[in-house]
Chains A and B, each alone.
Chain A
Amino acid sequence: MALAPDASSAQAGRKLATPARWQNLNAPGTSLWGQCQGSGKDPYLTGVDRTGPAFKCSCPSRKFPCKHALALMLLHTTHAGDFGQAAPPDTLQTWLDGRAERAANETPKTDGDAPTPGSGAGPDPAAQAKRRAARDRKVTDGLDALQTFLQDLIRDGLAHAPARPYSDWDTQAARLVDAQAPGAARLVRQIPEHLHDPAALLAHLSRLHLLTEAWPRRDTLSAEQQADLRTALGFPVDSAAVTGAGGIRARWQVMGQSVTEEDNLLTRRTWLVSGTDTALLLDFSAWGRPFPPALPPGQTVQAEVCSAPGTYPQRALLRGEAPVTTASPHGEGLTLDALLDRHGAALALNPWLERTAHLTGPLHVVPGNPWHAQDGTGRLPLTGSERTLYTLLALSGGQPVTVYAEWDGTVLAPLSVLHGGTLHPFLTAVDA
């Protein structure tokens, strides 16, 4: 159900997931297909390629995956025995063959050399450099104005800041959007959240100021530090370059997912772990459009994960598809103190890093206001939906547990818990 584009699809999928509504249920090879009686006379033909996963359905729904595909996958987990082995009808078979062919074509390419810049159909490097210079100029102007704004705030005294009209912050943020520095704009929009806490406000402003100081000196920074700075300013990741550079092909455990909303933009974070490597996949959904299909939390996928450049490589992109595979053993959990050490070390490399995620425990879950995670080294506040926290408590039964959690410098947000040898993912904000 984590693949559902929204809560109503998940609900509709659940409703359809009874064998009797399906005239045909088959699971040949790595695909699923079936025919579901909809409102029309002819049943819908639904197919799922589990290697993707990828979906195809003859229904008119614009959601992706549609409720039929969701129901088909749900049925396959709950009623595997009802699935036959019959081959799909031609239309679906052609689609599956096409996908298999493309996957086969992709593999040799990934092992070969990266696409050469400037070759044939590639973008014109001269034009690219020109565009880049133009953007850099805009950012410089925007950050200069931001620096003046911040210094004015300090000259007038932060005690006066809460009395400023809201439009001051909005105008400043809008200017930064125009200056093509959306990351800085986001940080400016967050200022009002800190107005009641002077210490937090000063810390937030000082980090913004650090951005405005680092940008003019970017040439003195290493390539990785420059990448950190560009990411903090909200420059998009050059996906072609990241995936072109190749990555780590391994079994990755999907440790958990979380969704946050900011100004009509939903961001879904998916954390992957393979041995000592951690990777963060980001997906965005704006204006109510559904997310692209997610990797299944709690499961293991075979995937090539390419890290975006940075001093503390975390953000990553998937290259190709990520079929589900068998689980690999989990690592050891950190103590809360060690978790803070790791986070501190990461922050020393990238001062704008917003959060890190770690397997931590064994720790006690202590309900209260706020809830706490507690071990021999001390305790940290826990956050999450009520359902998540109570589920964590229910699974623990008062005994210490090991959780995979995000730490953002203030609160620990559990994404999954190790229970009975398997990873139990919590529902993301969209499903909950």
Chain B
Amino acid sequence: MNDHDTLLALALLGTARGTLPTPGPGPLGQAAAHVTRPAAEGTLLARAALHALTHAAGRTPDPASDLPPVPAPAETLPEAPGRATRHLPLVMGTPHLSEWLTLCAQAGWRVPPARLPELLDHASNDSHLRPLLTPVLGERGRWLARFNPDWAFTPPPPGDDAWDTATEAGREALWRSVRERDPHAARALLQQHLPTERAGSRKRLLAALLDTLTPDDHALEPLLDTLTTARSEDVRTLARTALHRLSGSAQNARHAARFAALVSLDKPSLLGRLTKQTPSTLTPPTGPDEHATRDGLPDPAGKEKRSATALLEHLLEHTHPDALLTALNIPPATLVNIARQHDHLNALADNAVHTRHAPLATALLHDLPTHPFLLHIGPPEPLAAAQKQALHDRDPERLLALLGPQPGPWPSDLSAALLSILRDTIGDAHYAAAWGYRWAQLAELAATHAHPHTPHPDPLPADATDYAHRTMTELLGTLELRKQMWNDFGKGRG
């Protein structure tokens, strides 16, 4: 025990139960021997002060044990210039951050290193930002993300063990990044790993596949087919959904065959011929269907009649429209006819929306002329007309439905028309509820989606309320900020 330890031992025990140790022969001991006080407690504390100060003043660095991290690889993208990054403090934590990130990626730039932790934190809390941040992270960002488990959504650095060492989120990120660069390699990755992944990871990967599905993914059909009998219901559903969207899949072919057996078109009556309506009748299946479970068909245990119409509804919703049209060799209008006659228009509409089938969407618009999603898939004219009509009617509910799904930036004339209607309707409102929440929501939507170069509407009348002034100033201010942002990124693209 050194001098300090013997002092500490006595201090713990108490001077009432021991005697002061004699200091050792070293220089510190010699110095301590000169420190004496009338009471033993005083001597102990004074000598302890000498030791504590000597220790603090004489401290040397601890021996290095860990190797410093391997430096980040050299960057391949240029850093976003100051004129672009100056907007970051203003958009951080706002809905405009995603626009900034998109513009940055389009310009082919990366974010400056000092901003990386803040952006990675935002993206770890908001999954929508992740795919936008990934392309602008640069080498430094990918390198940095390795040091924080919260940032595991960024693709891990490539390497033989990248997949094995990644978390579930990391695997999804890795797959998405491979998918962007090389869809074929991404398919190979799925074929290699999906059969052995856990359900959580399978769900993530299948959802990522659905986000990016193309007709080339037909190669994955056998794999997806095996997953339709997986233990997890979510995995089964996701696999069936993917097979549904691949128009030539065997699942679609089986559904089409069921559809052809179920539906027979009758000879139209005179009235039918005049109105171009072909009546159809349903023949419920009689024999067992060996693929019913793996294809997710509704339970046939219900009443016979209900079973036929339930089967029809399922087929209309979950069979690729091309397969349905080919099965009976009918035009989209006839398919819509069948759905209408059996009251399943909505199921067919959902199908058209999910498969983004433009001809079917167009045919459905006769029956569902206000369906906002069909309008977005169908030809542009009916959508523009519907929007024009809603603007004319000043119907905020309808405008919200029609504009909500439309990705920004909206066309300039549409943006301008909306801004002037917002200006016209807000005039005497003193608060959001008095204006109508839908209008307030539209104003928020316009702030993020309107074209940033939209000309400003006329100023509010002098007698407009403070709320009106504040709301319009805020909206136009936001558009101005976005315009500046666009200009600053635009120059970089030149």
Contacts and interface: CB of A to CB of B under 8 A. Distances in A.
Contact of A398 (B7, B17, B68): B68
Interface in A357-397: 364-368, 372, 374-375, 377-381, 386-387, 390-391, 393-395, 397
A419 interface: yes
Interface stretch (A87-95, A122-130, A152-160, A315-323): A152-160
Contacts of B407: none
Contact of B477 (A21, A79, A156, A364): A21
Interface in B103-118: 113-114, 116-118
B143 A397 contact: yes
A398 B143 contact: yes
Nearest to A74: B89
B113 A150 contact: no
Contact of B53 (A351, A365, A374): A351
Given A40-B466, A78-B86, A205-B45, A20 B473 contact: yes
Given A150-B45, A209-B45, A394-B144, A380 B469 contact: no
B52 A207 contact: yes
Contacts of A387: 117-118, 121
A187 interface: no
A245 interface: no
A202 B45 CA distance: 8
Contacts of B51: 203, 206
B113 A151 contact: no
- Determine which residue in A40, A157, A206 has the highest number of CB atoms from chain B within 10 A of its CB, and name it: A206
Interface string B137-155: 0001101100110000000
Contact of A351 (B49, B71, B114, B478): B49
Contacts of B197: none
Interface stretch (B8-16, B173-181, B319-327): B8-16
Interface residues of B, number: 66
A102 interface: no
B44 interface: yes
A427 to B, nearest CB: 10
B274 interface: no
Contact of A20 (B52, B118, B481): B481
Contacts of B473: 20-21, 37
A268 interface: no
A337 interface: yes
B424 interface: no
Tell me whether chain A's interface is mostly helix, strand or loop, or mixed: helix
B72 A19 contact: no
Contact of B52 (A19, A206, A390, A398): A206
A157 B61 contact: no
Scoring A20, A158, A199 by chain B CB atoms within 10 A of each residue's CB, the highest score goes to: A20
B64 A378 contact: yes
- Which of B48, B72, B143, B466 has the most C-beta atoms of chain A within 10 angstroms of its own C-beta? B48
Number of chain A interface residues as a range: 35 or more
Interface stretch (A53-61, A174-182, A282-290, A340-348): A340-348
Nearest to A397: B72
B480 A20 contact: yes
A64 to B, nearest CB: 21
A157 B14 contact: yes
Interface string B212-233: 0000000000000000000000
B476 A20 contact: yes
Contacts of B15: 154-155
Contact of B11 (A157, A343, A347, A374): A157
B380 interface: no
B44 A398 contact: no
Contacts of B478: 18
A282 B479 CA distance: 42
Contact of A14 (B66, B69, B89, B144): B89
Nearest to B65: A379
A206 B140 CA distance: 48
A2 interface: no
B56 interface: yes
Contacts of B143: 397-398
B158 interface: no
Contacts of A150: 41, 45
Interface string B169-201: 000000000000000000000000000000000
B165 interface: no
B70 interface: yes
A336 interface: yes
A198 B470 contact: no
A398 B147 CA distance: 11
A41 interface: yes
**Which of B41, B45, B118, B480 has most chain A Cβ within 10 Å?**
B45
Given A41-B466, A340-B59, A395-B114, A366 B45 contact: no
A397 B17 CA distance: 57
Interface string B456-494: 000000000010011001101111110010000000000
Contact of A209 (B4, B46, B71, B117): B46
A213 B141 CA distance: 55
A266 B167 CA distance: 41
A221 interface: no
A203 B52 contact: yes
Contacts of B52: 202-203, 206-207
Contacts of A77: 86
B63 interface: yes
B433 interface: no
A409 interface: yes
Contact of A39 (B53, B86, B140, B466): B466
Interface in A111-126: none
B113 A18 contact: no
B271 interface: no
B60 interface: yes
B488 to A, nearest CB: 10
Interface in B31-62: 39, 41-42, 44-46, 48-49, 51-53, 55-62
Interface in B286-338: none
B438 interface: no
A378 B62 contact: yes
B140 A397 contact: yes
B265 interface: no
B90 interface: yes
A8 interface: no
B453 interface: no
Contacts of A159: 12-14
A424 B144 CA distance: 18
Contacts of B7: 202
8 contacts: A151-B39, A156-B14, A157-B12, A160-B14, A366-B66, A368-B66, A391-B116, A397-B113
Interface of A: 1, 14, 17-21, 37, 39-41, 74, 77-79, 147, 150-152, 154-160, 198-199, 202-203, 205-207, 209-210, 213, 336-337, 340, 343-345, 347-348, 351, 364-368, 372, 374-375, 377-381, 386-387, 390-391, 393-395, 397-399, 409, 419, 424
Interface of B: 4, 7-8, 11-17, 39, 41-42, 44-46, 48-49, 51-53, 55-66, 68-72, 86-87, 89-90, 113-114, 116-118, 121, 140-141, 143-144, 147-148, 466, 469-470, 473-474, 476-481, 484
Per CB-CB distance, the 3 closest pairs between chain A and chain B, nearest first, are A378-B61, A157-B14, A398-B71
Given A209-B45, A364-B69, 8 more contacts: A21-B473, A37-B470, A41-B466, A199-B8, A344-B57, A347-B57, A365-B69, A394-B117
